[in-house]
Amino acid sequence: MKLKRSASLVGAVAVGAMLLTACGSDANVESAAGTDSAATCEGKSPLTGEGSSAQQNAMSNFTSIYSGVCSGQAVEYTTSGSGNGRTQFVAGLVDFAGSDSTIKDEQAAQAAERCEGNPAWNLPLVFGPIAVAYNLDGVDNLVVTPEIAARIFNGQITTWNDPAIAAANEGATLPSTPITPIYRSDSSGTSDNFQRFLSAAAPEAWTLDHSSDWAGGVGEGANGSSGVAQAVAATPGSITYVEKGFAEQESLGMASVDFGNGPVELSSETAGAAIDTATFSGEGNDLAIDIDALYASDAADSYPLVLATYEIVCSAGYDADTSAAVKSFLLSAANEGQEGLEAAGYVPLPESFKERLVTAINAIA
């Protein structure tokens, strides 16, 4: 990565379990993560977080591994959508928010007040590729362009044999089946990111605003990442935007996307190639990604339709027990917690980015 400037509990059971590996030995922890990046296993328990459902599988991984590194330490994370997570964090009802979008400008002042006069930081712990997932019998290798996706989700393309889709899929037999777009009905960072992608990559076709609420106006809504994936699995002719891991769980088709230099299949390698080109838009230890620049990329063999999913935390202003627990959990997630993420459909942090993240975590006061 270039470093230039520019509601269900998933953790209670996994984290509450007392695993065999304890953190009583400093030598064991340091050997796993290094002196400066090791979890200290200190602070309050349980730590509480809420928000992104895109993070759900990653958070299960993080919390389970954290309990292995720090026996007896618990994290309770509620999946309620990114918007709800940010609201709960700003209100002081949870210790951190999970969000697929950075803290909104209108919430920044409230977040600073909640953090005792200190700014909140956006710290990305994992990247999640967004699949254009579909259910269309007999079509195994669908290709779409950003413009086609935009015109499907704004209602201009309504059948699978539309000439635009046929032109992108030369030689394929496409049925006249009506297209049913499925969108997130809850306040969703994935919706925000997908609409931002359409605005950046197909600005003439997608003229609607982007936010955590879906602006498309056509199709059917479903709640959460698992909800839209399940809805597509149950609806022939449907299409959605959803994180790769959830599409795989439902065995959905995942379209290759032609960003301008030929169709690109979604894989850890092609998503990772895009992530390696990402830049920061935040200042100092606020590690917000310049996502609009990433989404406008058309580099060959690169799949830039990815979301950076953040933990939003106070840079300072926590009490001592909460600060220690936040830092300990995030350090574990940034290091040992990255193991197993690829199998869950995510892209682990690049090493160069991890160094920057660990520095920011250690700076939390």
pLDDT single digits (tens) 148-194: 999 999 999 999 999 999 999 999 999 999 999 999 999 888 999 99
Taking the mean position of all CA atoms in its chain, how far away is CA 239?
Answer: 19
- Specify the pTM: 0.77
Predicted pLDDT of residue 207: 94
Q: Pairing between strand 120-135 and 238-243? A: antiparallel
In this structure, are residues 328 and 40 in contact, taking their beta carbons and an 8 Å threshold? yes
Bridge-based pairing state of the strands 253-254 and 8-9: unpaired
List binding-site positions: 52-54, 82, 100, 188-190
Domain map (residue ranges) of the chain: 8-128+275-289+306-362, 129-273
The tokens describing 102, both together, are: 């950075």
Q: Which residues are annotated as a binding site for phosphate?
A: 52-54, 82, 100, 188-190
- Taking the CA atoms of 265, 219, 214 and 48 in sequence, report the sign of the dihedral they define: negative
Alpha helices (runs of H) in the chain, residue ranges in sequence order: 12-16, 26-33, 56-69, 82-90, 105-114, 146-153, 163-168, 189-201, 224-233, 244-249, 268-275, 291-295, 320-334, 351-362
pLDDT at 36: 58
The residues, any chain, with a CB within 8 Å of residue 55's CB and separated by 6 or more, are 77, 79, 98, 100, 126, 128, 309
User: What is the DSSP pairing of strand 253-254 with strand 238-243?
Assistant: unpaired
Q: 247 and 254 in contact (C-beta within 8 Å)?
A: yes
Q: What is the predicted pLDDT for the residue at 339?
A: 92
Residue 9, strand partner residues:
78
Residue 350 backbone dihedrals phi, psi, to 5 degrees: -60, 145
Per-residue confidence (pLDDT) for residue 345, from 0 to 100: 87
CATH code of the region 129-273: 3.40.190.10
Specify the CATH superfamily of domain 8-128+275-289+306-362: Periplasmic binding protein-like II (3.40.190.10)
Q: What is the pLDDT of residues 316-330, one digit of tens each?
A: 999 999 999 999 999
Work out the number of other CB atoms within 10 angstroms of the CB of residue 109: 11
- Residue numbers of the chain with a pLDDT score lower than 50: 1-35
